[in-house]
Amino acid sequence: MASILDSVNQLTQLVGQNRLELLLFRLNGRQRFGINVFKVREVLQCPQLTIMPKLHPYVRGVAHIRGHTISVIDLSMATGGRPIADLTKCFIIIAEYNRSVQGFLVGSVERIINMNWEAILPPPKGAGRFNYMTAVTEVDGELVEILDVEKILDEISPVNTEVSKELVVESAHHDPHGRPVLVADDSSVARKQVERALNAIGVKCLLAKDGKDALNLLQDMAKKGPISEQVALVISDIEMPEMDGYTLTAEIRNDPSLRGLHIILHTSLSGVFNQAMVQKVGANNFIAKFNPDELAKAVQDAM
């Protein structure tokens, strides 16, 4: 199974090309799911799990891997399905989200595919507010669901979105001049987390569900007057259907009416990016999700 991640080292070549690589897997049934390989550290046959008291019901146990203890979340249970039964035939996907490492228990792992973000589409309307899809795509004539992992993790272990009292007090000395911050993120949970943190320091938010939605909104606003008088800055996720955060940044920099905007890339893809990558796409800053004080301070400094 180690060979399935042989191409991970080449992934940095995808930066700025609106492309991604998906690791395909299944849970209990025939339905395929996908996760961005950028977030995957390794894929392993499920090891012996240790049951510990007071674990969340979706956490099947903890695994001891390479000197670390990692919680193993049953993705089938977390998305409303039945538990994955035979652990001896299952796999765990070790992934890094929001500055921490988790193991996701899955029934089987298939292969890695290279795709264009334009082929990754928002969930169909009518899917309901309680669905766990952040996007969908098609592979071999079958629907592939890309899970909203941030929503799953927030339900198991909610992220602290409270800004420190010191920053709230300090915000009284910052005047955003009524200009909102545009937040682009395909996860409704992530959008709410950012909005809550910025509202605490007196900053209002405009919300966009992906890069394309954000770009269209900015371009429409620019037709009415200088964008700098209408938007303070842009906070963008990187992984988004139709147009990722890299491409959104590049489009903003290539548009004379938008190029002066301050852009913060804010993503759960922690631990794999460096300042050179941020500069390559023209962003002003990069912040790994989710630390409310770091985000609030970066916004204050930019305004």
pLDDT tens digits along 82-129: 988 888 889 999 987 767 788 999 999 988 888 887 788 887 776 554
Supply the range of the domain harboring residue 219: 165-302
206 and 146 part of one domain: no
Asked which of 132, 156, 180 is the last residue of a domain, the reply is 156
* CATH number of domain containing 199: 3.40.50.2300
Residues 252 and 195 in one domain: yes
130 in the same domain as 107: yes
* Res 139 pLDDT > 70: yes
Q: pTM higher than 0.85 for the full model? A: no
227 and 298: one domain? yes
**Of 139, 156, 173, the domain-final residue:** 156
Mean pLDDT, residues 141-153 taken together:
86
pLDDT, averaged across the chain: 82
CA 46 to chain CA centroid, nearest Å: 25
Listed residues 113, 137, 156: the one ending a domain: 156
On whether both 40 and 103 belong to a single domain, the answer is yes
95 and 112 housed in the same domain: yes
β 59-65/32-36 pair status: unpaired
Of 282, 210, 287, 286, give the one whose Cα is nearest residue 251: 282
Q: How far apart are CA 45 and CA 292, in angstroms?
A: 36
Rounded to an integer, what distance in angstroms lies between the CA atom of residue 29 and that of residue 106? 11
Number of domains in the chain: 2
pLDDT for 16 = 52
Report phi then psi at 103, rounded to 5.
-110, 130
Return the number of other C-beta atoms located less than 10 Å from residue 291's C-beta: 17
Q: CATH code at 24?
A: 2.40.50.180
6 and 50 share one domain? yes
- pLDDT band for position 2 (cuts 50, 70, 90): very low
